[in-house]
Amino acid sequence: MILAPSLFNSDLYLIKENLQKLDALGITHLHIDVMDNHYVPNLGFNANLVKDLKKHTHFVLDCHLMLDKPELSITHFIEAKPDFITFHFEATVHHIFIINMLVKNGIKVGIAINPSTSIESIKMLLPFIDLVLVMTINPGQKGEVFLPFTLSKIAQLSSEKQKNNFHYDIQVDGNITDETILPCIKAGANNIVSGGFIFNNNELEQNIAKLKKAIH
């Protein structure tokens, strides 16, 4: 199981200190939210932060593009060289173009789906994908409640993966806490994004310990 803290929820003043804490806790992956205040009603990080993290850390960088028409800015993020770039299925009609761009540049391909998007709609893309991100809340919103019906989509993705011998990770993101993490894992998720819970009160050690305890 991969635990990927969402850096957007860190106190920005304490990012360097928090990265050191995460490293000491054995965290290997970071989730980087990029938001354009258009596709989602919020602003997030940009390609420059990804580039700096790549230069100064050894985390696996998972870049989540919550952008309208990601094909227009994908080059900037490819140049930053994250390990994964995830784009939203609903944000573009140029899925294969983006996938081919990422593969050509040696970046693993992620595709994200909002709570109301069906697995059926992305089935044709699953053979080309390294990661499927199931949003368990409405993306880019604060204070959203975990949506239990998304668990069935995780289970469906897990079934498709086993049936067809696909290789993608199943990632979940959205109000993942010590209460919601276990149902996600039982449904088939193996890549867990948690932000608000992990960075709550800047008690990273205690909050990560709670997540780990919840799944054992």
Q: What is the pTM of this model?
A: 0.95
For residues 42 and 37, give the distance between their C-alpha atoms in angstroms, rounded to a whole number: 4
User: Is the per-residue pLDDT at 17 higher than 80?
Assistant: yes
Tokens of 42: 């919020």
For residues 41 and 66, give the distance between their C-alpha atoms in angstroms, rounded to a whole number: 10
pLDDT tens-digit map of 126-157 = 999 999 999 999 886 667 899 999 999 999 99
Per-residue pLDDT, 143: 72
Lowest mean pLDDT among 8-12, 33-37, 69-73: 33-37
Rounded to the nearest 5°, which phi and psi values hold at 24?
A: -65, -25
Residues designated as active site: 33, 173
Fold of the CATH domain 2-190: TIM Barrel (3.20.20)
Evaluate whether 81 touches 48 at the Cβ level (below 8 Å).
Answer: no
